[in-house]
Amino acid sequence: MRDRLTALACKEPDIEERFIGRTGVELLHRRTGVRVRSSGRGGQSLNRFLARRLLADELEARLQNKTRHILKAEKIREQKNKNDHRSTLPEHYAQFTLRPLVAPDQQPGSRELEKWLAKLKQINEVENP
């Protein structure tokens, strides 16, 4: 974390730290005016670390003329696009083959049925002239 903050030209004397409530921490980077808070996690030491990480994220985002929220949304969008399975669905269904549609009168077994119906018709004609 120190290396990351050093790479962003953020030194410990540039950071003003305030404690909020029992475990909350607020950091103010004096040179840029960036203020971040962390209070929802575990203890004070964890919140101090998380606040410094948020500060580093925000300073990196400011270098790109964005906010950390915009960068986080972009990252999520990239992950969703990377995990998009819509392109693999056609490949998945390629293993299944569809039989061509056949007219009802040409279905297998209908010829045999036609023969039986023709014989029945002949019998009806013989019995009922």
Kindly report the CATH number assigned to the domain that includes residue 34: 3.30.160.20
Angle at alpha carbon of residue 98, lines to 92 and 99, rounded to 5° = 165
Residue 108 binned pLDDT confidence (cut-offs 50, 70, 90): low
- Give the mean pLDDT of 17-25: 89
> Is the residue at 37 inside a domain?
yes
pLDDT at 22: 86
Q: How far is 28 from 56, CA to CA, in rounded Å?
A: 12
The beta strand positions in 12-117, using DSSP E, are: 15-20, 24-29, 34-38
pLDDT at 18: 93
Using one digit for the tens of pLDDT, what is the confidence trace for 116-127? 888 888 888 888
Using one digit for the tens of pLDDT, what is the confidence trace for 63-105? 888 887 888 888 888 888 777 666 566 666 666 766 666 666 6
pTM of the model: 0.54
> Is the residue at 45 inside a domain?
yes
Please state the domain count of the chain. 1
> Is the residue at 82 inside a domain?
no
Q: Which domain holds residue 38?
A: 2-65
> Is the residue at 75 inside a domain?
no
> Is the residue at 120 inside a domain?
no
pLDDT at 106: 64
Per the prediction, the chain carries an average pLDDT of 81
> Is the residue at 119 inside a domain?
no
